[in-house]
Chain A
Amino acid sequence: MTVVEDFGRLPALTPSLAPSLAPVSACPACAAVPAAERIAALRAARDARIMLSLPLAHCAACISTVEGSLSAVPGVRSARVNLTLKRVSVEAAPDVTPAQLIAVLAAEGQEAHELDPGLLSSTETDRQGRDLLMRLGVAFFSMMNVMLLSVAVWSGAEDDTRDLFHWISAAIALPTVVFVGQPFFKSAWASLRVGRLGMDVPISLALILASSISVYETWMSGHHAYFDAAVMLAFFLLLGRYLDHRTRAIARSAAEELAALEVPRAIVLLNGAEVETAISAVVAGDIVLIRPGARMPVDGVVIHGASEVDRSLLTGESLPVQATVGTIISAGEVNLTGPLTVRVTAAGKESSLHRMADLVAVAEGAKTRYTSLADRAARLYSPLVHILSFSAFGYWMWATGGDVRHAINISAAVLIITCPCALGLAVPAVITSASGKLFRKGLLIKNGTALERLAEVDTVVFDKTGTLTMGIPDPVGLADHSHEVLAVALALAAGSSHPLARALADGSRAAGISPALVEDIREVPGHGVEGQWQGTRVRLGRFDWCGAKALPVTASYLSVGGVTHAFAFTDRPRPGAAEAVRALKAAGMRIELLSGDSEAPVQDLALRLGISDWRAGVLPAEKAARVQALAAEGRKVLMVGDGLNDTAALAAAHVSISPATALDAARVASDIVLLGQDMAPIADAVRIGRQSARRMVENFVISGGYNVVAVPLALVGAATPLAAALAMSLSSITVSLNAMRLK
């Protein structure tokens, strides 16, 4: 293997490979031992627990097949399928590789992809979710029992029976409120300490006041106790909290799965041996081999090999760039034709991909300033609740001439009735229903406020390469070439794995061409393919290599005995792109296309999709600046992009969408991820976003409406515990039903 020989010619590099394990000694042979140690360390670093994603698993038979076939692999200790998450986790000996297991599953007809277990850190959210669910269960149990006892009281139990029922209710409700209310008490305390009145302050106050006044009333054998109201309040609010948590947990786990699908591995060359290792173990100075078709895992300088690299994810340009010895490459580029040996200049957190995160962080700071509908409602609502309750207390103190018991009773009733039970459900119920609906359409809502922000959008900015287009070339004007030329081109292209060659081969086969007889075909990495046809040398490849004049568009060139032919390519538009643009225009959006690509392809695509406002050759910083300029004009921008050059713009936009094929950084920066290839759901998303914002406002109005009726009753002291319970459950149910009306 050539790489090994070349590596041998680079002795100066060898000692630097083991800087941390041993001091660099003068004797060259000494360096070999630590290197061997490092090989062992790198190999051992791989986790014995393997996670595979099974996108097609759906039935009982799938579980049996997958578990059965995996358990039969020697070295596998156990395999367990989780059908809900469509994953299988395998406990195996260290020598079992994921590739081996994927091959076993492929033989059984199950598609599988490796997942990076380190990125699936769902245990923390799991624990939180389970904690909330447990409190919800306790609240439900208490609510049912207390409610049953309350029914007897409402229907006229008197004297000792009533007191007995109240005491039993107290015995159930008090521990429940203490246990179940903890999430509210904690967050209320946190917001009080920074001097704010969040939604949780009136909630906590209502819980505490209702419980203590009821205990006092029971002690004095009074008529009204609010134990049922306190527990029911806690239950409904926890339900809203749990829904909210679950929606976010599902989104987070799906986003994590996308990230975990790209297992970051690099092939490090150590003393000529190829060691497949995790990116985190690669250090600057290592020599890394990058095979054709692979994405660059690190930043570095090419020290051997020739190839072409696709920089479209980083810069947006669709034309591949030539890479030879000395070319500087950055993480995220795709190696197209030949194997490259690269000396690492920066890996992991230092690589250019990760440095971009700073830019994102700056832009994200702007986004957190958005106040959600729920926050705005709470800001309005929470002082009002307190003022009402205290003025009721004050008035009744004055009116009854200092009857503290009566005044506290009324102010507690006001607090319970105004308490935002329905408000707590208003937003989570809508978001749960809307994101479930959008998930089935192939859109993953990562951020809770993304839907509200989507509803406000009036401008859409698209990126070109990889977003509106697939990044897959499509040959144009094949019919302009003679049959013979196409036959030669097909013969040459068929042997190459270069994307342009593959597209050309597919295109000419589809046109019914059969390959000419070309001999001695060989691929020259970084240049093209050449061969002998009827005694003349024929070449298919780059313009300079074929001696042709370069076209302004992406093209491949064929030279036949000195005569050159050019095959032009366009980027294939993403399915649904035209529909999405049309639907967004119909919804009254202003649409812009910002691309880092050269002018000709951008203009071509803009014309095809009917976008009149387009710019080519835009730098990443200019994209972000344009988005910010639009925002400064008072426009709400939806940014759709996939590359590193879009990341800052995605983060700066009011709301952002990226396809699942986007770079990790872009997916992290965006609020919504498009899971499928089709772009049409974007228009749906905007529609559903607007609809759900409307539902949220409706829900606030509904719960406000109940208060308008019930609060005056409470203020004059006519609210019984029965009225409070009725108002609370009716408003919660109406709000949930309204949320489910989403289409």
Chain B
Amino acid sequence: MEILAILIPVSLFLGGVGLVAFFWAMKTKQFDDPEGDAERILTKDWDDRPKP
């Protein structure tokens, strides 16, 4: 059962990464326009260079 000492921290760490990603997404207002973001990925406007 010594493996638990490694596995539990690892699983908690991975879960924590997910949580931090969720916080970041919320801080950068990525849930403000879900429909628009879903459509925006289909446009070709900024395929060649990033939007200035």
Q: Which residues of A contact B (CB under 8 A)?
A: 59-61, 63-64, 68, 81-85, 130, 133-134, 137-138, 141, 144-145, 148-149, 161, 164, 168, 172
Contacts and interface: CB of A to CB of B under 8 A. Distances in A.
Task: Name which of B15, B33, B36, B45 has the most chain A CB atoms within 10 A of its CB.
Answer: B36
A82 B36 contact: yes
A60 B22 contact: no
Given A84-B32, A84-B35, 18 more contacts: A59-B39, A60-B40, A60-B43, A61-B43, A63-B39, A63-B43, A68-B45, A83-B39, A133-B31, A134-B22, A137-B23, A137-B26, A138-B19, A141-B15, A141-B19, A148-B11, A161-B4, A168-B12
A83 B35 contact: yes
A633 B32 CA distance: 48
A161 B4 CA distance: 10
B6 interface: no
Contact of A145 (B4, B12, B33): B12
Interface string B1-45: 100100010011001101100110010000111111001101101
A63 B36 contact: yes
A81 B43 CA distance: 13
A82 B30 CA distance: 12
A145 B43 contact: no
Contact of A83 (B11, B15, B23, B36): B36
Nearest to A134: B26
Interface residues of B, number: 23
A238 to B, nearest CB: 14
B36 A81 contact: yes
A149 B4 CA distance: 11
Contacts of A134: 22-23, 26
B11 A145 contact: yes
Contacts of A164: 4
B15 A144 contact: yes
A82 B32 contact: yes
Given A60-B42, A63-B39, A161-B1, A133 B26 contact: yes
Contacts of B15: 141, 144-145
Given A130-B26, A145-B12, A82 B40 contact: no
27 contacts: A59-B39, A61-B43, A63-B43, A64-B43, A68-B45, A81-B36, A82-B33, A83-B33, A83-B39, A84-B32, A84-B35, A84-B36, A130-B26, A133-B26, A134-B26, A137-B19, A137-B23, A137-B26, A138-B19, A141-B15, A141-B18, A144-B15, A145-B11, A145-B12, A161-B1, A168-B8, A168-B12
Residue with the highest number of chain B CB atoms closer than 10 Å, among A59, A61, A83, A149: A83
Contacts of A149: 8
A236 B44 CA distance: 42
A305 B4 CA distance: 89
A141 B18 CA distance: 9
A85 B37 CA distance: 12
A150 to B, nearest CB: 13
A144 B4 CA distance: 17
B45 A64 contact: yes
Contacts, number: 56
Contacts of A137: 19, 22-23, 26
- By DSSP majority rule, is chain A's interface helix, strand, loop, or mixed? helix
A290 to B, nearest CB: 38
Contacts of A141: 15-16, 18-19, 22
A84 B31 CA distance: 10
A546 B22 CA distance: 74
A256 B12 CA distance: 43
In the A-B complex, list the 9 residue pairs whose CB atoms are closest, starting with the nearest: A83-B36, A60-B39, A60-B42, A83-B35, A84-B35, A82-B33, A141-B19, A84-B33, A137-B22
B28 to A, nearest CB: 11
Contacts of B18: 141
Contacts of A161: 1, 4
Contacts of A172: 12
A168 B9 CA distance: 10
Contacts of A82: 32-33, 36
A234 B45 CA distance: 44
A164 B42 CA distance: 50
Contacts of A144: 15
A82 B38 CA distance: 11
Contacts of B34: 84
Contacts of B32: 82, 84
A64 B36 CA distance: 11
A137 B24 CA distance: 12
Nearest to A129: B31
A68 to B, nearest CB: 7
Contacts of B12: 145, 168, 172
Contacts of A63: 36, 39-40, 43
Contacts of A168: 8, 12
A148 B16 CA distance: 15
Nearest to A136: B22
Nearest to B25: A137
Contacts of B8: 149, 168
Contacts of A145: 11-12, 15
Nearest to B46: A64
Contacts of B39: 59-60, 63, 83
B40 to A, nearest CB: 6
B37 to A, nearest CB: 8
B43 A85 contact: no
Nearest to A59: B39
Nearest to A157: B1
A164 B8 CA distance: 11
B35 to A, nearest CB: 4
Contacts of A138: 19
A82 B12 CA distance: 36
A85 B8 CA distance: 43
Given A60-B43, A64-B45, A141-B15, A85 B33 contact: yes
A311 B8 CA distance: 73
B47 to A, nearest CB: 12
B30 to A, nearest CB: 11
Nearest to B1: A161
Contacts of B40: 60, 63
Nearest to B19: A141
